[in-house]
Amino acid sequence: MFRSDGLSPTEIWSAFYLADKALHFDKNNYEACTLKGFVYYKKGMEKKAEEEYLQSLRYNSNNSLTYRLLGELYFWDGECSKAIENQLKVFHLENDPMQERNNLKSLCLNLYSMGFYAEGTKYADNTWKTILAGF
Protein backbone atom coordinates (compact mmCIF):
# COMPACT_ATOMS: atom_id res chain seq x y z
CA MET A 1 0.00 0.00 0.00
CA PHE A 2 1.34 3.41 -0.94
CA ARG A 3 -0.05 6.60 0.62
CA SER A 4 1.21 9.31 -1.66
CA ASP A 5 -0.28 12.60 -0.44
CA GLY A 6 1.06 14.04 -3.68
CA LEU A 7 4.52 12.49 -3.38
CA SER A 8 5.86 10.14 -6.02
CA PRO A 9 7.47 6.83 -5.06
CA THR A 10 10.80 8.28 -6.22
CA GLU A 11 10.43 11.26 -3.88
CA ILE A 12 9.50 8.98 -0.99
CA TRP A 13 12.51 6.71 -1.50
CA SER A 14 14.80 9.73 -2.00
CA ALA A 15 13.68 10.98 1.41
CA PHE A 16 14.40 7.54 2.87
CA TYR A 17 17.88 7.50 1.33
CA LEU A 18 18.68 10.96 2.71
CA ALA A 19 17.39 10.06 6.18
CA ASP A 20 19.44 6.87 6.16
CA LYS A 21 22.52 8.83 5.08
CA ALA A 22 21.96 11.37 7.89
CA LEU A 23 21.76 8.54 10.41
CA HIS A 24 25.02 7.15 9.06
CA PHE A 25 26.76 10.37 10.16
CA ASP A 26 24.73 10.92 13.34
CA LYS A 27 22.94 7.84 14.71
CA ASN A 28 21.02 10.05 17.20
CA ASN A 29 19.49 12.31 14.54
CA TYR A 30 15.88 12.42 15.69
CA GLU A 31 14.70 14.29 12.58
CA ALA A 32 16.11 11.55 10.33
CA CYS A 33 14.32 8.91 12.42
CA THR A 34 11.07 10.84 12.07
CA LEU A 35 11.57 11.10 8.31
CA LYS A 36 12.26 7.37 8.03
CA GLY A 37 9.12 6.69 10.05
CA PHE A 38 7.15 8.92 7.70
CA VAL A 39 8.49 7.06 4.67
CA TYR A 40 7.71 3.67 6.21
CA TYR A 41 4.19 4.88 6.99
CA LYS A 42 3.70 6.11 3.42
CA LYS A 43 4.81 2.69 2.18
CA GLY A 44 2.24 0.97 4.41
CA MET A 45 4.85 -0.38 6.83
CA GLU A 46 3.18 0.78 10.04
CA LYS A 47 5.20 -1.31 12.50
CA LYS A 48 8.52 -0.04 11.13
CA ALA A 49 7.13 3.50 11.11
CA GLU A 50 6.15 3.19 14.77
CA GLU A 51 9.64 1.89 15.64
CA GLU A 52 11.29 4.87 13.93
CA TYR A 53 8.93 7.37 15.56
CA LEU A 54 9.59 5.89 19.01
CA GLN A 55 13.34 5.94 18.34
CA SER A 56 13.07 9.60 17.38
CA LEU A 57 11.28 10.36 20.65
CA ARG A 58 14.02 8.57 22.60
CA TYR A 59 16.50 11.03 21.08
CA ASN A 60 14.24 14.08 21.53
CA SER A 61 11.13 13.74 23.68
CA ASN A 62 10.07 17.31 22.83
CA ASN A 63 9.60 16.60 19.12
CA SER A 64 6.02 17.70 18.48
CA LEU A 65 5.98 16.59 14.83
CA THR A 66 6.80 13.02 15.79
CA TYR A 67 4.05 12.92 18.42
CA ARG A 68 1.57 14.19 15.81
CA LEU A 69 2.67 11.63 13.21
CA LEU A 70 2.61 8.84 15.79
CA GLY A 71 -0.89 9.91 16.80
CA GLU A 72 -2.04 9.76 13.18
CA LEU A 73 -0.47 6.32 12.74
CA TYR A 74 -2.27 5.03 15.84
CA PHE A 75 -5.53 6.58 14.71
CA TRP A 76 -5.44 4.87 11.32
CA ASP A 77 -4.47 1.60 13.02
CA GLY A 78 -7.58 1.86 15.21
CA GLU A 79 -5.70 2.53 18.44
CA CYS A 80 -7.76 5.59 19.30
CA SER A 81 -6.68 6.11 22.91
CA LYS A 82 -2.99 6.04 21.91
CA ALA A 83 -3.78 8.42 19.04
CA ILE A 84 -5.41 11.00 21.27
CA GLU A 85 -2.74 10.62 23.96
CA ASN A 86 -0.01 11.45 21.45
CA GLN A 87 -1.95 14.23 19.78
CA LEU A 88 -2.58 15.91 23.14
CA LYS A 89 1.17 15.87 23.92
CA VAL A 90 1.71 18.04 20.86
CA PHE A 91 -0.24 20.96 22.31
CA HIS A 92 2.14 21.28 25.26
CA LEU A 93 5.18 21.37 22.99
CA GLU A 94 4.13 23.60 20.11
CA ASN A 95 4.17 27.39 20.13
CA ASP A 96 3.87 28.14 16.42
CA PRO A 97 0.29 29.37 15.71
CA MET A 98 0.16 27.77 12.25
CA GLN A 99 1.34 24.43 13.59
CA GLU A 100 -1.09 24.73 16.50
CA ARG A 101 -3.90 25.14 13.98
CA ASN A 102 -2.78 22.03 12.07
CA ASN A 103 -2.51 20.02 15.26
CA LEU A 104 -5.93 21.17 16.44
CA LYS A 105 -7.48 20.28 13.09
CA SER A 106 -5.96 16.80 13.20
CA LEU A 107 -7.11 16.14 16.78
CA CYS A 108 -10.63 17.44 16.21
CA LEU A 109 -11.09 15.46 12.99
CA ASN A 110 -10.01 12.32 14.81
CA LEU A 111 -12.39 13.01 17.70
CA TYR A 112 -15.24 13.71 15.28
CA SER A 113 -14.56 10.56 13.26
CA MET A 114 -14.67 8.48 16.47
CA GLY A 115 -18.07 9.96 17.31
CA PHE A 116 -16.89 12.35 20.02
CA TYR A 117 -18.57 15.39 18.45
CA ALA A 118 -19.14 17.39 21.63
CA GLU A 119 -15.60 16.75 22.88
CA GLY A 120 -14.07 17.73 19.55
CA THR A 121 -16.10 20.92 19.36
CA LYS A 122 -15.43 21.83 22.99
CA TYR A 123 -11.69 21.23 22.61
CA ALA A 124 -11.60 23.26 19.40
CA ASP A 125 -13.51 26.18 20.96
CA ASN A 126 -11.30 26.28 24.07
CA THR A 127 -8.10 25.96 22.08
CA TRP A 128 -9.09 28.68 19.61
CA LYS A 129 -9.84 31.03 22.50
CA THR A 130 -6.38 30.35 23.91
CA ILE A 131 -4.69 30.85 20.55
CA LEU A 132 -6.59 34.06 19.79
CA ALA A 133 -5.83 35.43 23.27
CA GLY A 134 -2.13 35.26 22.36
CA PHE A 135 -2.54 37.69 19.45
Task: Identify the three-state secondary structure at position 88.
Answer: helix
How many C-alpha atoms does 49 have within 13 Å on its Cβ side?
A: 20
Q: Is the dihedral of CA 4, 81, 61, 102 positive or negative?
A: positive
pLDDT digits (tens, 9 = 90+) for 27-43: 999 999 999 999 999 88
Please tell me which of 3-17, 34-48, 112-126 the model is most confident about, judged by mean pLDDT: 34-48
The pLDDT of residue 35 = 94
pLDDT digits (tens, 9 = 90+) for 75-85: 989 998 899 89
Stronger pLDDT, 68 or 1, i.e. the higher one: 68
DSSP 33-86: HHHHHHHHHHTT-HHHHHHHHHHHHHH-TT-HHHHHHHHHHHHHTT-HHHHHHH
